[in-house]
C-alpha cells in the first residue's frame, strides 16, 4: 500500500510539490512568529536579570530601563548626585553603581561607572584587570580591541556629527566575560573620568540645568552641547576614587543591588517621588511583553487565517484531483480493491503531503527565527535564544490531528464514485 501511494505521488510530483510548499509556508509563518517572540522575551529577561533595581530622574520608566539596562541611545534627564551618595551609604544596599553615557568609540557606547558594576556583570574578567586609574577602560566581550589598546572617546555618534575628545585617551586594562547582554558591546570607564571630561567634576546638581546633556544619552544633535568653556586636561594616571559625597555631579541613572528582596521593595517605594524614579527592570519588561504579546496574537491570527485558506485551497484541488482520477479509482474498485484500501490510498497521499509540508515549514520557520535573532543580536548585542518549548508539542499534535481529519474529506468523496460509471467516463 505504501509503495502504491509513493508511486502515485511521484506520478504527480509537480502538484505534490506545490501542495507541500503551500503548507510549509503557512506553517513557517506561525513557527517564526512563535519562536521569535519567545526569543525576544527570553533574551531580554536574561539581559535584565543582573539588574535588581534602577533609580533615575522622574520620567519614563520604559526609557530609563532601555537606556540604562539595554544601552539604547536616548536623552535622559539627570538627577542630583546626592541620590548616588545616599544610596552608596545606605545599609540596605550591597552596591550602587552610577551609569553615565553620551560618548562613544568606534561605534561602541562609552559608559562611565564603577568597578562594582564591572564585578557584577563579570565576576571574573576574561582578560586583564578592572580599571584602577582614571585612564583605564574595561571592554565588553564583543569589543574588538586588545589589552593595552587606546580608546579616544567621541561626544555623541560619528554619524550625527560628533567630535572626538582630546582631553583623555583611555587604555584597555581588561575584558569582561560574555554576559549575553548589551554590555558585551560597551566600553566601561571610571565615572569620575567622564565627569572631568565634561567639566562636571565637583559641580553638584550640574545636570539639572542640562536635561539630556552629556551624561544623559546620545543627543540627536551633537553640536547642541557646544563646550564653550575649555575643559581641563584629565589626568589619566590619577588614582581611582569611588567615594561619593554631597558634591557628586548629576547622573542619569544608578544601578542598585539591594541586600534582600524586602530591601528592594522598600527602596523602590522610597525613591518613587517627584524628583526620582525607581523601577524593577523586570516589571518594565513585563509591560513590554504584554505589548509584544498583543502583536504576536495578531500575527498568529493572520498566520492561522492563512493556514485555513491554504487548507481550503488544498481540499478543493485534491477533490478535483480525485475527480480527474475517477477511472483509476474505478479500476481499483472493479478489480476487487476493498473500500478501505481506496480510502487509505487517497487519505494517505494527502496526509503524507501534510506531514512533508509541516516538517518543511518547521525547518523554514526555525531558520527564519534564527536569522532574525542573529540580526537583532548584531544590533543590540542581546543574545536571543531560539528554542522550542513543551507547549509547541501540543500545537504540533493539534496540527497532526487536523491533518488527519482534513485528509478524510477527499477520501470519502472517492467512495461516492461508482466503479461502472468511472470506467465508462
Count up the domains in the chain and report the number: 2
Same structural domain for residues 168 and 103? yes
Largest CA distance in the chain: 103
Q: What is the DSSP letter of 248?
A: P
Give the span between the Cα atoms of 392 and 127, in whole angstroms: 41
pLDDT at 383: 83
Q: If you average pLDDT over each of 215-219, 399-403, 408-412, which comes out highest? A: 399-403
Q: What angle do CA 14, 19, 21 make, to 5 degrees?
A: 95
Same structural domain for residues 189 and 305? no
Give me the mean pLDDT over the 145-166 stretch. 76
Last residue of a domain, one of 249, 279, 309: 279
> Which residue in this structure is represented by grid cell 562594582?
116
Alpha-carbon dihedral of residues 243, 249, 253, 259, nearest 10 degrees? Answer: 30
Condensed to tens digits (0 to 9), the pLDDT of residues 35-78 reads: 988 888 888 778 778 888 999 998 888 888 888 888 887 778 88
Same structural domain for residues 273 and 195? yes
pLDDT at 307: 74
Condensed to tens digits (0 to 9), the pLDDT of residues 362-400 reads: 999 999 999 998 888 877 777 888 989 888 888 888 888
Give the three cell numbers for residue 66.
532601555
Phi–psi pair at 364, nearest 5 degrees: -65, -45
b/e map of 330-346 (b: 16 or more CB within 10 Å)? bebbeeeeeeeebbbbb
Give the span between the Cα atoms of 153 and 161, in whole angstroms: 14
Nearest CA among 393, 81, 20, 73 for reference residue 208 = 81
pLDDT at 409: 75
Residues in a beta bridge with 96: 256
pLDDT at 206: 37
Phi–psi pair at 312, nearest 5 degrees: -60, -40
Q: What is the DSSP letter of 417?
A: S
Condensed to tens digits (0 to 9), the pLDDT of residues 249-303 reads: 888 999 999 999 999 999 999 999 888 999 998 888 777 766 666 666 777 777 7
Region for residue 246 given its phi and psi (left: phi exceeds 0; alpha: psi -120 to 50; beta: otherwise): alpha
pLDDT at 294: 65
Report the mean per-residue pLDDT for the chain.
Answer: 79
> Which residue in this structure is represented by grid cell 504576536?
296
Same structural domain for residues 203 and 187? yes
On the 0-12 / 13-18 / 19+ scale of CB atoms within 10 A, 320 is exposed
Same structural domain for residues 31 and 134? no
Same structural domain for residues 116 and 198? yes
Last residue of a domain, one of 279, 299, 328: 279
Neighbouring residues of 234: CB distance < 8 A, sequence distance ≥ 6: 134, 135, 167, 168, 193, 196, 197
Q: CB atoms < 10 A from the CB of 362, how many? A: 20
Nearest CA among 396, 374, 379 for reference residue 39 = 374
Residue 410 and residue 314 in contact, taking contact as beta carbons nearer than 8 Å: no
HEC letters along 93-133: EEEEEEEEEEEEECCEEEEEECHHHHHHHCCCCCEECCCCE
Give the span between the Cα atoms of 126 and 148, in whole angstroms: 15
Same structural domain for residues 307 and 396? yes
> Which residue in this structure is represented by grid cell 554619524?
159
Same structural domain for residues 177 and 303? no
Q: Check whether 209 has a pLDDT greater than 50.
A: no
Q: Check whether 423 has a pLDDT greater than 60.
A: no
Q: Where are the beta strands (DSSP E) in 236-389?
A: 253-258, 276-279
Q: If you average pLDDT over each of 95-99, 329-333, 417-421, which comes out highest? A: 95-99
Same structural domain for residues 196 and 136? yes
Same structural domain for residues 387 and 308? yes
Residue 105 and residue 151 in contact, taking contact as beta carbons nearer than 8 Å: yes
Q: How far apart are the first and last CA of the chain?
A: 26
On the 0-12 / 13-18 / 19+ scale of CB atoms within 10 A, 413 is middle
Domain that holds residue 325: 2-45+288-424
Last residue of a domain, one of 261, 279, 297: 279
Same structural domain for residues 125 and 274? yes
Alpha-carbon dihedral of residues 108, 109, 115, 118, nearest 10 degrees? Answer: -60
Neighbouring residues of 391: CB distance < 8 A, sequence distance ≥ 6: none
Banded pLDDT at 205 (limits 50, 70, 90): very low
SS3 392: helix
pLDDT at 258: 94
pLDDT at 331: 56
Condensed to tens digits (0 to 9), the pLDDT of residues 291-312 reads: 666 666 777 777 778 778 777 7
Banded pLDDT at 207 (limits 50, 70, 90): very low
Give me the mean pLDDT over the 78-84 stretch. 89
Half-sphere exposure of 306 (CA within 13 A, CB side): 15
Q: Check whether 6 has a pLDDT greater than 70.
A: no
Helix axes 13-48 and 2-11, enclosed angle (nearest 10): 100
Same structural domain for residues 252 and 362? no
The structure's pTM equals: 0.70
Give the span between the Cα atoms of 149 and 139, in whole angstroms: 11
Amino acid at each position: 500500500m505504501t509503495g502504491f501511494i509513493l508511486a502515485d505521488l511521484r506520478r504527480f510530483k509537480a502538484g505534490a510539490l506545490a501542495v507541500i510548499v503551500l503548507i510549509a509556508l503557512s506553517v513557517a509563518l506561525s513557527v517564526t512568529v512563535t519562536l521569535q517572540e519567545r526569543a525576544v522575551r527570553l533574551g531580554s529577561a536574561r539581559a535584565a536579570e543582573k539588574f535588581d533595581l534602577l533609580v533615575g530622574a522622574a520620567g519614563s520608566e520604559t526609557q530609563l530601563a532601555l537606556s540604562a539596562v539595554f544601552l539604547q541611545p536616548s536623552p535622559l534627564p539627570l538627577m542630583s548626585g546626592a541620590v548616588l551618595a545616599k544610596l552608596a551609604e545606605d545599609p540596605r544596599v550591597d552596591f550602587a553603581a552610577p551609569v553615565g553615557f553620551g560618548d562613544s568609540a568606534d561605534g561602541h557606547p562609552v559608559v562611565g561607572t564603577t568597578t562594582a558594576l564591572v564585578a557584577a556583570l563579570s565576576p571574573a574578567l576574561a582578560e586583564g584587570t578592572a580599571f584602577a586609574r582614571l585612564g583605564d577602560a574595561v571592554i565588553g566581550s564583543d569589543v574588538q580591541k586588545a589589552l593595552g589598546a587606546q580608546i579616544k572617546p567621541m561626544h555623541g555618534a560619528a554619524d550625527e556629527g560628533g567630535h572626538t575628545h582630546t582631553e583623555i585617551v583611555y587604555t584597555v586594562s581588561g575584558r569582561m566575560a560574555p554576559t549575553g547582554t548589551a554590555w558585551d558591546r560597551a566600553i566601561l570607564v571610571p565615572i569620575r573620568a567622564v565627569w572631568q571630561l565634561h567639566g562636571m567634576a565637583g559641580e553638584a546638581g550640574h545636570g539639572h540645568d542640562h536635561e539630556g546633556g552629556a551624561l544623559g544619552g546620545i543627543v540627536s544633535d551633537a553640536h547642541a552641547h557646544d563646550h564653550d568653556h575649555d575643559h581641563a586636561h584629565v589626568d589619566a594616571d590619577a588614582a581611582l576614587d569611588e567615594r561619593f559625597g554631597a558634591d557628586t555631579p548629576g547622573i542619569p541613572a544608578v544601578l542598585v543591588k539591594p541586600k534582600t528582596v524586602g530591601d528592594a521593595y522598600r527602596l523602590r517605594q522610597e525613591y518613587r517621588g517627584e524628583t526620582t524614579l525607581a523601577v524593577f527592570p523586570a516589571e518594565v519588561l513585563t509591560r513590554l511583553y504584554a505589548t509584544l504579546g498583543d502583536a504576536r496574537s495578531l500575527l498568529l491570527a493572520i498566520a492561522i487565517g492563512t493556514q485555513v485558506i491554504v487548507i481550503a485551497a488544498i481540499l478543493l484541488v485534491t477533490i478535483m484531483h480525485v475527480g480527474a482520477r475517477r477511472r483509476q479509482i474505478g479500476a481499483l474498485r472493479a478489480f476487487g480493491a476493498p473500500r478501505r484500501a481506496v480510502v487509505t490510498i487517497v487519505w494517505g497521499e494527502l496526509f503524507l503531503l501534510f506531514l512533508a509540508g509541516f516538517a518543511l515549514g518547521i525547518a523554514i520557520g526555525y531558520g527564519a527565527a534564527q536569522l532574525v535573532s542573529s540580526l537583532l543580536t548584531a544590533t543590540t548585542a542581546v543574545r536571543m535564544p531560539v528554542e522550542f518549548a513543551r507547549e509547541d508539542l501540543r500545537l504540533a499534535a493539534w496540527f497532526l490531528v487536523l491533518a488527519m481529519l482534513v485528509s478524510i474529506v477527499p477520501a470519502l468523496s472517492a467512495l461516492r464514485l461508482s466503479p461502472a460509471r468511472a470506467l465508462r467516463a
